[in-house]
A and B are shown apart, each in its own frame.
Chain A
Amino acid sequence: MRKITLILLILFWGWGSNAQNIEDILNYQLKDEVKTELVPATFKSIMLINSHTTKLPDKGEWVLLISHRFGNFSSGFSDLWGLDLATIRLGIEYGLTPTTSLGFGRSTYKSNFDLFAKQLILRQSVGEKSVPMTLALLGVANITSDKWPDDGRDYLFAHRMSYTLQLLASRKFNRSISLQLMPTFVHRNLVATPADHNDILAMGVGGRVKVSNRVALTGEYHYVLPNQTAASIVNPLSLGVDIETGGHVFQLFVTNASAIYDAGFITETTSKWVNGDIRFGFNISRTF
């Protein structure tokens, strides 16, 4: 009798499992399905503030970038706290493949042209194949088209050139926090003083904290390794806010740098935060 009861119990249990929620059966069918997913949207824009990010335009996309840096706040009323002055960069970046982009820009600072290429090496992902960070390599060539000073020296075309090689390593820690490290090598064919080295090494760090779906606080700092530059050169520090609306990203910030290309703002920034020599700036990017 006990055996029969047991069998009956098993039978009822069988019935129970048959009548179980079909959602469980669906989940059971799907349970061995683990896919690799790329972590999306580590940064909203191709630019952090002054620096590039590991975000690239998608294949075939154009990103137009308009950047402004006003004058120092400390310039006072006569220049309306810097708003009368501006350096500008107009830039464009094109997605050649999902992992390669090419771009160029023109800055009023030193009448500089920049040509650059960004290559993704590794992309942060989760799932079957888990990769902890995104790595990209950035190469920039700059040509200044400023008139040479009339000082009797022989200037060569090569003197117009400077170069930046930068590794961008970013990680999205969670939906709001993303950080990026930027070890940077800058080579300048011509420098201003004997104290300035032609080759400069720097370490940049930056990131963002999203405060809502469309608004993020951003910051970045580049530490130029000591004894490479003239005493007047300081490290660039920038703090800002990103606002995203549809295809546009508006980036508003304060910074002590006035150049808007890597070799410029990393090695030629002279304004000090402690003196209030900071300026308002913005980037507007539009994806086509």
Chain B
Amino acid sequence: MKKLILSFLLFLAFTVLYGQKYFTRNGYVRFFSETPVENIEAKNYQASCIVDLETGEVVSKMLMTAFQFDKALMQEHFNENYVESDKFPQAILKAKIVNLKEIDLSKSGINHVVLEADITLHGVSHHYSINGTAENQNGKIIAQSSFIVKPSDFEIKIPKAVENNIAKEVQVSVKFELEPLKSKQ
């Protein structure tokens, strides 16, 4: 019986240590819309992300209301009229690292990462192939990426009157500093 309990405890320790996951709650996400009329930039410093290096799974979540704009009115319009944050408060990315085998984070150096991702925002999901990099810096994983999304991917309607103010393609930049996840239990 004692042996069994011991093996059980060992098993628990094993799973906690071996299931290597990295996590952040202060990820940086920026989007940038550039048109001749005006540029719109918003930054979110509170994106959360978890990466499982065993399975290559990545999940990231952020509150739409945490995006900060230069102008308060832009932020209000973004939340009220475009992404409808009261109905759809979060953006969620669920992804799989496709080239997991090529990634070696045990040594220094930049790894190229390819994600097959589903982003859900404004109640609509859209599939993206995202290229990025990952690097081990003193035990932290620095993950960076830049990709294009379209407001139309998420059925975000843009009225004719401001059609020229909002880019058809919006640049998204991401920087996450992921730390090894310590079990909370």
Cβ of B87 within 8 Å of any chain A Cβ, yes or no, is: yes
Cβ–Cβ contact A40 & B76, under 8 A: yes
Cβ–Cβ contact A58 & B8, under 8 A: no
Which residues of chain B have C-beta atoms less than 8 A from A3's C-beta? 1, 4
Cβ–Cβ contact B184 & A29, under 8 A: yes
Q: Mark A157-183, 1 if CB is under 8 A from B, else 0.
A: 000000000000000000100000000
User: Which B residue's beta carbon lies closest to that of A56?
Assistant: B72
Cβ of A231 within 8 Å of any chain B Cβ, yes or no, is: no
Cβ of B86 within 8 Å of any chain A Cβ, yes or no, is: yes
Segment at the B interface, from A6-14, A146-154, A274-282: A6-14
Segment at the A interface, from B15-23, B97-105, B123-131, B132-140: B15-23
Cβ of A41 within 8 Å of any chain B Cβ, yes or no, is: yes
Among B135-185, those with CB < 8 Å from A are 159, 161-162, 165, 181, 184
Cβ–Cβ contact A14 & B181, under 8 A: no
Q: Mark A194-209, 1 if CB is under 8 A from B, else 0.
A: 0000000000000000
Cβ–Cβ contact A61 & B159, under 8 A: no
Which residues of chain B have C-beta atoms less than 8 A from A11's C-beta? 8, 11
**Shortest beta-carbon distance from A130 to chain B in Å:** 16
Q: Mark A100-124, 1 if CB is under 8 A from B, else 0.
A: 0000000000000000000000000
Cβ of A37 within 8 Å of any chain B Cβ, yes or no, is: yes
**Shortest beta-carbon distance from A64 to chain B in Å:** 13
Alpha-carbon separation in the docked complex, A41 to B94 (Å):
31
Alpha-carbon separation in the docked complex, A214 to B80 (Å):
9
Which among B11, B71, B162, B181 is the interface contact of A61 at CB below 8 angstroms? Answer: B71
Cβ of B50 within 8 Å of any chain A Cβ, yes or no, is: yes
Cβ–Cβ contact A23 & B73, under 8 A: no
User: Which B residue's beta carbon lies closest to that of A15?
Assistant: B15
User: Beyond A22-B59, A245-B161, is A287–B73 a contact (Cβ under 8 Å)?
Assistant: yes
Cβ of B34 within 8 Å of any chain A Cβ, yes or no, is: no
Alpha-carbon separation in the docked complex, A199 to B91 (Å):
54
Among B12-69, those with CB < 8 Å from A are 12, 15, 19, 21, 23, 25, 48-50, 52, 55, 57, 59, 61, 65
User: Beyond A22-B59, A29-B50, is A41–B76 a contact (Cβ under 8 Å)?
Assistant: yes
Which residues of chain B have C-beta atoms less than 8 A from A213's C-beta? 80-81, 84
User: Beyond A58-B72, A175-B87, is A22–B52 a contact (Cβ under 8 Å)?
Assistant: yes
Cβ–Cβ contact B59 & A26, under 8 A: yes
Cβ–Cβ contact B25 & A30, under 8 A: yes
Cβ of A18 within 8 Å of any chain B Cβ, yes or no, is: yes
User: Which B residue's beta carbon lies closest to that of A27?
Assistant: B61
- Which residues of A are in contact with B by a Cβ distance under 8 Å? 3-4, 7, 10-11, 14-15, 18, 22-23, 25-26, 28-30, 33, 37, 40-41, 58, 61, 175, 213-214, 244-247, 287
- Which residues of B are in contact with A by a Cβ distance under 8 Å? 1, 4, 7-8, 11-12, 15, 19, 21, 23, 25, 48-50, 52, 55, 57, 59, 61, 65, 71-73, 75-77, 79-81, 84, 86-87, 94, 159, 161-162, 165, 181, 184
Selected A-B contacts with CB under 8 Å, 12 pairs: A3-B1, A3-B4, A14-B15, A18-B15, A18-B19, A26-B23, A26-B61, A37-B65, A40-B75, A41-B76, A175-B87, A214-B81
